[in-house]
Chain A
Amino acid sequence: MEPIRTLRSRTVVLASTNIDTDQIMPARFLTTTTREGLGKHLFADWRYDSAGQPIPEFVLNKPEAAGCQILVAGRNIGCGSSREHAPWGLYDYGFRAVISSEIADIFRNNSLKNGLLPVVVDPQTHAWLLANPGAEVSVDLESSTVTLPNGQKASFSVEAFARYCLLNGVDETGYLLSQEAAIRAYEARHGA
């Protein structure tokens, strides 16, 4: 995994509340057996019409969305299904951070494991971001702050170990594997 320290990008805004992972990655794209290439299906049912043509009004189809790495979403993004295909798709499309005022548990967890930074900001900062699509924003993981174009800063919190892993490009699986002695001791203790 590539380390994340700082991101600076214009934002794409999807203001809907409760954007569930079925919208982010519809179930019919889950019959894949790899994690690559899901970006083209991201928000498929909002992004393409029934003939498979891009819907021009949808934000990801607008020219200004190109190259944006930060998605600002309405409250409670990522609710519903545990499908990791949702963060895989967002990452493959090019997003590196998702900002909201609330992020659903499993989606947040899955995002952290894939180099997609879930950023929960205070309602005021969130409201400003929703109202100002395309704003040039920076996200600094080291100091855990979001900086708005006017220089105003908002802090966010990321679980300490996930933050360490993201900053250093370390993956959690390696850490779990290094706990083998403790796991074996637990199993012996519990007759497991």
Chain B
Amino acid sequence: MTPTTLFGKIWAAHEVVAETAETPAVMYIDLHLTHEVTSPQAYTVLRQRGLKVRRTDRTLATMDHSTPTDSDQLFGRVPIKLESAARQVRELEKNCAEFGVELLGIHSPNRGIVHIIGPELGLTQPGATIVCGDSHTSTHGAFGALAFGIGTTEVGQVLATQCLLQRKARTLAVNVEGTLPRGVTAKDLVLAIIRRLGVSGGTGSVIEYRGSTIRALSMEERMTVCNMSIEAGARAGLIAPDETTFAYLKGRPRAPAGAVWDAAVARWRTLVTDPGARFDAEISIDAETLAPMITYGTNPGMSVALGEAIPASGDAVYVKALAYMGLTAGQQMLGQKINEVFLGSCTNGRLSDLEQAATLLRGRKVAPGVRFMVVPGSQQIKLAAEAAGLDRVFKDAGAEWREAGCSMCLGMNGDLVARGAYCVSTSNRNFEGRQGIGARTLLASPIMAAAAAVTGVVTDPRTLLA
């Protein structure tokens, strides 16, 4: 047998019809996750063509993107301020009822950001193909699933046929070796990888993250890394499943159980890149040399390690980006005044992210004039955090504690960064206007976000850790 990559194995197992020069492969989709923003037009097409949802048992809906994180608006004590968002939420409820799709809706204790609830429920499983009308679907690759974002036309195709037309991607191995230094997190690692690859370095490729550093990461950390694969332009990110993966999944509500579990694990153990298998490209990163990272520009590739100065360039687009950010070449990010902090999102809205930030925050106060919004990634995370008393830590420090959702990661649910304000954000995109018109986003880890919240400036979190 020819040695095969992990990607090659998952690809081969999902070919309904093999690709030819004239036609792409028909790929079977094991799990289709949907949400309120990128599905309405797909249901419209189903209605127009008289089609049904082919596999309701492989389709799950939730609401996260335009759904408010304010309790009163979410639970209907006051109307949702954004009328169009309210309409979108109602439309999803109607579509799911009409087409028989399971909806983890407003009152479900399992509602949350679509990429957080899939793993949490145990639906995200090794070797599966998973799609969603959202580019951060790459998150699920942390389990060794081939997971990627699709557009709304494709959402309709998967609803109708459970399949997609696909051309086989190239493969890119990102090998990371060594122990991450203290205070350097999975977020810093992935920001360093994106800086190295550039924001289009992964175009056309599926990344497989490999090496001792990756093996040592928890599942939540692996999700942070895979989540941002798309920020390097990659179609998907993958990490081979191992004991860490199996331990995370065991006992989850929708993971296999009993004898089926044992058979599944036996199958999952084969999901590795065979020795000698060739990648189309490879890069290597030395984890020991990494430091906490923060972005200074308007794409996720524009980042510096703390202590490095913002680079200089005469390129017109670069100059425009710095002007938008109100920053200058040669400047250090350390000490940069900030106005807002956002802790949450599908990148860093999981329990361990909240725990790390809370550890730094305990006994400290949010700096005067700084707004700090903490948004758990799911209602389950919210409950777990509250059971552990984390909400008290945040509230006592002066932060806002919200309901689960995408919130400030993208400006479409009422949670916005003010025009011109600097926001240290644990999310994934620092594009112009992403968090609100004129908002200036500085992407960083949860501990750097907490450090900035208590000092009011960009601060090295290592100086505040016990």
Q: Residues on A close to B: CB < 8 A?
A: 15-18, 20, 22-23, 26-28, 30-35, 45, 50, 74-76, 79-84, 87, 102, 104-106, 109-110, 113-114, 159-161, 164, 172-173, 175-177, 179-180, 182-183, 186-187, 190, 192
Question: CB distance B153 to A84 under 8 Å?
Answer: yes
Question: CB distance B135 to A31 under 8 Å?
Answer: no
Question: CB distance A113 to B154 under 8 Å?
Answer: yes
Partner of A33, one of B87, B150, B156: B87
Q: Is B133 interfacial (CB 8 A cutoff)?
A: yes
Q: Is B411 interfacial (CB 8 A cutoff)?
A: yes
Interface centre among B134, B164, B165 (most CB of A within 10 A): B165
Interface centre among B24, B152, B411, B437 (most CB of A within 10 A): B152
Q: How large is the interface on B (under 10, 10 to 19, 20 to 34, 35 or more residues)?
A: 35 or more
CB distance from B378 to the nearest CB of A (A): 21
Contacts of A18 in B (CB 8 A): 199-200, 299, 317
Q: A28-B411, A31-B412, A82-B135 are in contact. Are A177 and B161 (CB under 8 A)?
A: yes
Contacts of A161 in B (CB 8 A): 22-24, 165
Q: Is B167 interfacial (CB 8 A cutoff)?
A: yes
Partner of B21, one of A34, A110, A160, A182: A160
Q: In the bound complex, how far is the Cα of B235 from the Cα of A179, in angstroms? A: 25
Partner of A45, one of B66, B133, B433: B433
Q: A82-B133, A110-B153, A164-B22 are in contact. Are A31 and B199 (CB under 8 A)?
A: no
Partner of A23, one of B49, B88, B433: B433
Partner of B163, one of A26, A110, A176: A176
Partner of A22, one of B88, B233, B433: B433
Q: In the bound complex, how far is the Cα of B38 from the Cα of A159, in angstroms? A: 25
**Interface bits B427-448 vs A (CB < 8 Å: 1, else 0):** 0010111100100000000000
Partner of A82, one of B85, B151, B163: B151
Question: CB distance A183 to B163 under 8 Å?
Answer: yes
Q: In the bound complex, how far is the Cα of B411 from the Cα of A83, in angstroms? A: 14
Question: CB distance B149 to A82 under 8 Å?
Answer: yes
Q: Is B108 interfacial (CB 8 A cutoff)?
A: no
Question: CB distance A114 to B135 under 8 Å?
Answer: no
Question: CB distance B412 to A109 under 8 Å?
Answer: no
Q: Can you spell out 18 A-B residue pairs with CB atoms less than 8 angstroms apart?
A: A22-B410, A23-B431, A30-B412, A31-B412, A34-B40, A50-B419, A75-B200, A79-B200, A79-B233, A80-B135, A87-B151, A105-B204, A106-B135, A109-B150, A160-B21, A173-B161, A179-B161, A186-B16
- CB-CB contacts below 8 Å: B182-241 with A: 199-200, 203-204, 230-231, 233, 235
Question: CB distance B433 to A31 under 8 Å?
Answer: no
Q: In the bound complex, how far is the Cα of B24 from the Cα of A176, in angstroms? A: 11
Question: CB distance B411 to A27 under 8 Å?
Answer: yes
List the A residue with the shortest CB-CB distance to B169.
Answer: A105
Q: In the bound complex, how far is the Cα of B22 from the Cα of A161, in angstroms? A: 6
Partner of A28, one of B30, B233, B412: B412
Contacts of A26 in B (CB 8 A): 411, 433, 437
Q: Besides the contacts A50-B419, A80-B230, what 11 more A-B pairs have beta carbons closer than 8 Å?
A: A22-B434, A27-B411, A75-B200, A76-B203, A76-B233, A83-B38, A110-B153, A161-B165, A176-B161, A183-B163, A192-B30
Q: In the bound complex, how far is the Cα of B418 from the Cα of A50, in angstroms? A: 13
Question: CB distance B433 to A173 under 8 Å?
Answer: no
Q: A75-B200, A105-B203, A192-B30 are in contact. Are A84 and B152 (CB under 8 A)?
A: yes
Contacts of B135 in A (CB 8 A): 80-82, 106
Contacts of A113 in B (CB 8 A): 151, 153-154
Question: CB distance A16 to B22 under 8 Å?
Answer: no
Contacts of A20 in B (CB 8 A): 299, 429, 431
Q: In the bound complex, how far is the Cα of B164 from the Cα of A173, in angstroms? A: 9
Q: In the bound complex, how far is the Cα of B320 from the Cα of A16, in angstroms? A: 10
CB distance from A141 to the nearest CB of B (A): 16
Question: CB distance B432 to A45 under 8 Å?
Answer: yes
Question: CB distance B17 to A106 under 8 Å?
Answer: no
**Interface bits B59-89 vs A (CB < 8 Å: 1, else 0):** 0000001100000000000000010110110
Contacts of B22 in A (CB 8 A): 160-161, 164
List the A residue with the shortest CB-CB distance to B202.
Answer: A105
Q: A173-B160, A176-B160 are in contact. Are A80 and B429 (CB under 8 A)?
A: yes
Interface centre among A35, A164, A176, A187 (most CB of B within 10 A): A176
